[in-house]
Structure 1
Amino acid sequence: MLLGCIGDDFTGSSDLGNTLVKAGMRTVQYSGTPSAPAAPDVEAGIVALKSRTLPVAEAVRLSLEALDWLRAQGCRQFLFKYCSTFDSTPQGNIGPVAEALSDALNADRVIFCPAFPATGRTVFQGHLFVGDRLLSESGMENHPLTPMTDPDLRRWLGLQIRDGLGHIPAGTVWQGADAVRAALSAQGHRFVVTDAIRDEDLVTLGQAVADQLLLTGGSGIALGLPGNFRARGLLSSDALPWRGQAGRAAALSGSCSRATRGQVARHIADGHPASGIDPEAVMAGTATAADAARWALSQDGLPLVYSSADPDAVRAVQGRHGTKAVAARLDAFFAETARLLVTGGVTRLITAGGETSGAVVEGLGIGALEIGPEIDPGVPAIRAGENLVLALKSGNFGAEEFFAKAAERLAG
């Protein structure tokens, strides 16, 4: 294994896998830290953790366990992958995990770059944008678990780490990899936020950190990494083959993002079967996974079970029961629904939302995921077993007709 990656959620990890596969690396995503060695033909391994919203100490512990396993596989470089909307809180987890990984590797000049221009995420003057809006005006300020109220990455990250932060502006990035390397060497800080507004900028950054042991960012930061290994003659020329899966399809959505709510509305408007789940009813036990799965299995076409409510409605439920309690109950609901759907014959399963997707993968007991072709930017098709394929979508990703498009692509 050449590149060892640690993702703080499952959809983001598959997004990273999509980037690496498109660039020609044989990539496998693991659900948590494996207990056995990787297959010898794996060039990039991604340990997907459900650590984004865990207590800091637990997130750090899990990340260091993943690092130990990846080091044992012989990895030459390591990437800590987080969301392109930098989902976090002033108390963590991105900064503390990055510090712990840096300490363990004795790594210096570690870059932070969540940019992903293909999906509208750019970093300019150290500020994160979503499309033409600052992050704090993009809808992410309403996220139920990690509300992003400040687009200044240096200021937000500065609340989480011990050391100060450097910055490499877009003008330096545009001068090329040599200029970035020189700017990194001149930094007086261990951690450095880098601007990037084009895919070419991410390739430049990737080339500039070819000899850095650790880097951090969204999936886009990996655009230039496979080329570094290829230039050294370390990559296989053969891509892993992909085969689709026939059979029944179903979709589960627990994301409250603007994008996912639009996709749910489009799915319903196009005449597909859909069943909305009231989080209050889930908390009361009157809406059960058995009922949801029974309904979905009785439908033709592509049934969708969703709890993608308006943020105000979600906050009201959280106010009555507590944020963590609501999140845990919904995760358990979707995990059990997924298990019942697969037991009932579903072979193509689509999930929306990082927390939902992580709960589903854990609930199904899936250990390793083979990353396949792209469905939409940031969302690949994934094979999870002999008779099961998945699409794990971040809440903010995908075209409006994503659910139907994913079901068709998963069928091959």
Structure 2
Amino acid sequence: MPATPTVASPSTWYEQGDFAPVERVTLVIANDLAEDRKDAPVVVRRDQLPMLADIQELTVTLVDPAGEPRPEPSRELLARQGPHERRGESNGRALDYQFDDLDRDGVWDELFFVADLKAGERKAFHLYRGFQQRGWNPHRTHAAVGSYMRHTVPFWESEHVGWKLWFPTDIDIYAKRRPVLMAHRLYMGNLDGYGVGAENADYGADIMSVDDSFGGGGIGVFEGEALARPRFTPSSDLANRFNAGQQSDTRYSFDVLVNGPLRSMVRIRSLNWNTGQGRYEAEQIYTAYAGQNYTTAEVRFPTWLPGPQGADFAVGVRRRPGQTFERREANWIVTAAPEALRNPDDVEGLQQQAPILYAGTALIVPTEDAAAYQFIAERGGNHVFRVPAREDRRYRYMLVAGWSEGEVLKTPEAFADYVAANARAFSSPLRLDRVQEEVKR
């Protein structure tokens, strides 16, 4: 980082209406993969931008200098959208972004945006300084905690796929026919996830039956060869697939960390987890991303007290009932099958089944974790990775979902190709290559 800002020619500087900034910070973002990336997450930490450590969000405008400038809006659009509508641009296109405060101390921790980069590209973006209030940013992701069928449930979603924890650590999946956010309708109206399309066909339907399986994604620990999970303990009411009391058995807390236009995050804490061999507390942070069919998870164990046999991390997904398509590599697994979607709790058979050509689920773990795959036939049949425990007691994974009714990934083969590409991206995220402060000459 130069001690003084570079003086730059004004001919390439962004302007919007009467907004003509004179200071900017240039970020060069690197794609190290030999393949194009679309709507790829970009994360820049606050310690990487010390010159912006003390800023307010409205004093920064993020611009792609290669983007197509917006024209001056019509009078009709301005009358409808008001004074916060963007005005005519030159020398680039303003992008939506988030400054996320993840530790809740009132100071931003990460700048987040999404970008398209070509294979091997190093691409510049500008952060222009100066207060301006223009730029509506409709949400493409959503996260919330709601009371759903008489118990607390966290929800997080992108336009294509949504996830919820009906069971406290094993995921339900709902998929959309068109890009839309609808979790707020699901929990506020307490709509049946399997029948939600009856209200609006674009909302889609629940595409995962969890029961006592790992569902669309769940965690546990391997204690020796035995697999332990938070909701199945010596004290649990196993017949009902839920834990017993909140003091005598594992208990859970949920909160929303971020509810943003481009990424949304929920946090799940599993407390007082006693396997009969060891005692644990786990924290999961799930993130939904704009334009994507995946969610990522960061897991840490504030309490890690395994018995004498030791322990490793576990993460799994349910094998699709009637699985007809499977693709597996060292660090990922795809399972898919045609389904007749139905609510497994509808024992009277009152709800109409909805046949679909395929529903698919996938699990990805980082290659560097040297995780070992194994199939576990018990509890619905599950594809599971055993991840060697680390000293920092952390691990991470990615969950992916798709179905034939969606706008994207309409076949199992297309879904598996998407999973393979994102498995490579998971181990090679876009990175900050260079930062440069500049002032207009």
- Taking structure 1 as the reference length, the TM-score comes to 0.24
Greater share of residues in helix? 1
Structure exhibiting the larger radius of gyration computed from Cα positions: 2
Greater share of residues in strand? 2
